[in-house]
Structure 1
Amino acid sequence: MWKVGLLLLSICALAKCADDNRFELGFETTDEIKKENLKCLKDADYKVVGVRIYNNGEHDETGLKNMETASENFTVQALVVPNISKAAAVQVTDIVKRGRRNKQALQKIFLKITDPLCWWQEQERNVAFINLFVKTAQSLKLKVGFYTNWYDYKVITGNSARFSPTEVWYWKTLGVGDDAKGETNFDDFYPFGPIKGHPTRLGSRAGPGRKSRPGPRAGRGRPGPARFNFSSARPGPARGPARAGPGRPEN
């Protein structure tokens, strides 16, 4: 059973956000999407799908398939989990080449800057990696947004404002389950690092092993649960990046 969450996608310009705080509903999943699942979500007025197309330096085949499945009726947001031990430029090039081979015209990706255990302890080293990733993408006509929150971004980069203003997909919940879901607005968002506006928000999550049922219950004003695909921030390693292993949270 795949998991469904709430995305609040800002579709207004920053100058208009104060007066016009419109949003669209969406969901994120790392599990395989079936067309029959998409139908009930479309009927519930969902517009956006978040899929992971790259994970730890490798193509995510499930996510790439999900992109193809959902692209007919939904706006698809592509998520990238990098491997900081692999050259940033190589990873961006891999992503673009695969998109072209699959005839998927990628215009924007969201780089996950989450889980400090998966990054270098030295913040400047992380900033240099992100900077090269962004610059390489820009040279290939690919926009990069950040998938993070203010705390993880601060721990990983020192709240660096080195990058050009960018879109952010941020998350904030008050725990696990329906009772912890956030409000359907952006009142808890404030600028950090290079992020100034145009936010996308993940507002709810399910606990470990929790199953969710996509459908009308996850309609406007009643966000359904989602697997939260990044852990809370923890102290960085003594040397080098941490490696995934048994018990590691999924990125």
Structure 2
Amino acid sequence: MFRIWIIFIFLKFWAAKSDDFSLAFDTSEPVNGGNLRCLIEKGYKTAIFRIYGDDKGDKIGMKNALNAYYANLPFEVYITHTFDVFRLGDQEFEKMYWFARDNNMNLDRVWLQVTDPINWEYHEEINVKYITDFVKASWYRKVKVGLFTSWYDYNLITVNTTKIQDVEDIWYWNQLGRGVQGESEKDFEDFRPIGPFVKPLIKQFGSQETVCGVLINRNVYKNIYPHNLQGNFSGIPLGFGANFTVNK
């Protein structure tokens, strides 16, 4: 009887822990309505798409976001830093911002990808200034900025600086490799403080997996109301970072 109770308590704890998190996916690949319906059926609650990279607006990502909008799937958007073009952070933000506005997208938050150190400057001061200028420009437009990074990437790119202010949302990644076999746990237990940031909003736990015919990265985030989340947090729940001003 005692063993049965132990098993029952374990299962109850496991179920409660699972219920604390929801699935999200991010991709830069084309996603159509059929793909989205399949992903929704598989339990994905939020999508994240790139809308700017390689020094230009990402038309595929914008179309993906519009498809998600019509499918009633909450979504977020991100930008990848352009290394081989000399551009200040505020200039790159403005280009991304007007690309969004020209496509009837309203931004409340955008994620800046601070990964792949090889795509950043060798001198961390330049990188910190780029991120700081990007964030300052976003505040002028009343758009919050979240960082997509990891402890390793952030350390190499910025030397783990604490100088970056006015960033409240962290999306971090941790995998052992690509595909299902490289997935880490679907929780935040492996998070370690990144610069001044002590709490994550979302974690990418799997990468380069084909689901519903689309190559995606898999993410997990907490089902929690903003006023209950302690630490750095912008107050914008995941999935409410962007929207369109078009009729469905």
Could you state the TM-score of these two structures normalised by the residue count of structure 2?
A: 0.74
For residue 52 of structure 2, give the secondary structure of its aligned residue in structure 1.
Answer: strand
Residue pair 1:166, 1:194 contacting (<8 A) in 2 also:
no
**Once the 2 structures are TM-superposed, how far is the Cα of residue 155 of structure 1 from its aligned partner?**
0.2
**Once the 2 structures are TM-superposed, how far is the Cα of residue 44 of structure 1 from its aligned partner?**
1.8
Question: Size of the alignment, in residue pairs?
Answer: 198
Report the equivalent of 1:3. none
Whole-Å separation in 2 of the counterparts to 1:99 and 1:225: 24
**1:75–1:194 CA distance, 2 compared to 1 (3 A):** farther
**Once the 2 structures are TM-superposed, how far is the Cα of residue 213 of structure 1 from its aligned partner?**
3.2
Residue pair 1:108, 1:145 contacting (<8 A) in 2 also:
yes
The range that moved more, 20-29 or 86-95, is 20-29
Whole-Å separation in 2 of the counterparts to 1:144 and 1:45: 27
Residue pair 1:153, 1:159 contacting (<8 A) in 2 also:
yes
Whole-Å separation in 2 of the counterparts to 1:50 and 1:181: 19
Residue pair 1:145, 1:166 contacting (<8 A) in 2 also:
yes
> Unmatched 5+ residue regions in structure 1?
1-18, 216-223, 229-251
For residue 212 of structure 1, give the secondary structure of its aligned residue in structure 2.
Answer: strand
**Once the 2 structures are TM-superposed, how far is the Cα of residue 179 of structure 1 from its aligned partner?**
1.9
**Once the 2 structures are TM-superposed, how far is the Cα of residue 61 of structure 1 from its aligned partner?**
0.9
Residue pair 1:21, 1:185 contacting (<8 A) in 2 also:
no
AA matched with 2:144: K
**Once the 2 structures are TM-superposed, how far is the Cα of residue 156 of structure 1 from its aligned partner?**
0.4
Report the equivalent of 1:23. 21
Whole-Å separation in 1 of the counterparts to 2:134 and 2:196: 15
Report the equivalent of 2:207. 205
Residue pair 2:46, 2:75 contacting (<8 A) in 1 also:
yes
Higher gyration radius (CA): 2
Report the equivalent of 1:42. 40
The residue correspondences of 1:78-227 to structure 2 (distance < 5 A) are 78-84=77-83, 85-164=86-165, 165-206=167-208, 212-214=210-212, 226=216
Whole-Å separation in 2 of the counterparts to 1:42 and 1:60: 23
Q: Can you list the C-alpha shifts for 1:82-129, whole angstroms capped at 9, x where unaligned?
A: 225212212111222222222111110110111111111100111011
AA matched with 1:67: A
Report the equivalent of 1:66. 64
> Unmatched 5+ residue regions in structure 2?
1-16, 219-248
**Once the 2 structures are TM-superposed, how far is the Cα of residue 56 of structure 1 from its aligned partner?**
2.4
**Once the 2 structures are TM-superposed, how far is the Cα of residue 71 of structure 1 from its aligned partner?**
2.1
The yes-or-no answer on 1:76 pairing with 2:88 is no
For residue 33 of structure 1, give the secondary structure of its aligned residue in structure 2.
Answer: coil
More strand by share: 2
Q: Can you list the C-alpha shifts for 1:200-220, whole angstroms capped at 9, x where unaligned?
A: 1111123xxxx72328xxxxx
**Once the 2 structures are TM-superposed, how far is the Cα of residue 69 of structure 1 from its aligned partner?**
0.9
The range that moved more, 163-172 or 128-137, is 163-172
Whole-Å separation in 2 of the counterparts to 1:102 and 1:149: 31
Could you state the TM-score of these two structures normalised by the residue count of structure 1?
A: 0.73
**Once the 2 structures are TM-superposed, how far is the Cα of residue 197 of structure 1 from its aligned partner?**
1.4
Query: Percentage identity across aligned positions?
Result: 30
Whole-Å separation in 1 of the counterparts to 2:115 and 2:123: 15
Whole-Å separation in 1 of the counterparts to 2:90 and 2:172: 24
Whole-Å separation in 1 of the counterparts to 2:146 and 2:212: 27
For residue 210 of structure 2, give the secondary structure of its aligned residue in structure 1.
Answer: coil
Whole-Å separation in 2 of the counterparts to 1:124 and 1:67: 34
